[in-house]
Structure 1
Amino acid sequence: MGSMSWIHWVVVLLIVVLVFGTKRLGNIGKDVGEAVKGFKKGMADEDKPEQLNDQSRNSDSNASTRNDERSQR
C-alpha cells in the first residue's frame, strides 16, 4: 500500500478530466500561469525603486558637482 503506480495516476487524471472538462482545466492552467507572472513582476517591481533611488542620488550628486565647478569659474 506504498506509493501509487503510474496506472493509478492515469486513472486519477482521467477522472479529473471527466469531472472538470478540458476547457475548464485549460482556463485554470491559464489563470495560474497569469498569477505566477503577476507575482514575479510584483517581486521585480519591488526591487526597482531602490535602483531608481540610487540612480537619482548619483545624478543629483553629479549635478551638484557640476554646479560647484561652474561657481568656481
Structure 2
Amino acid sequence: MRRSEFLRAVDAEFGARSATLVNDLVLGQIGSRTASEALASGVPPREIWLALCAETDVPVERRHGAGRLEPRRR
C-alpha cells in the first residue's frame, strides 16, 4: 500500500472524520503515535492502515483498503 492508497482508503472508510482520525487518534499498535506521525517517521502505510482499522473496529472484510477490489494474495 502506498501513502496515496492509504489516504484514499481512510477517506473512503471514514469520510469527513478522516482528517481528524489521521491527525488526532493515537494508535497503540504503531508506537502510540498518530497516523500522520507514523507516516512522517517511515512506518509503512499498510501497517498504519491495519492499526487504524483495528482501533476503530473496521470489519475485517473492509480492511484491505480502497483502490483494490480484493486483498492481495500471498
User: TM-score normalised to the size of structure 2?
Assistant: 0.23
Question: Which structure's relative contact order is higher, taking Cα pairs within 8 Å and 6+ residues apart?
Answer: 2
Larger Rg: 1
Whichever structure has more helix as a proportion of its residues is 1
User: TM-score normalised to the size of structure 1?
Assistant: 0.23
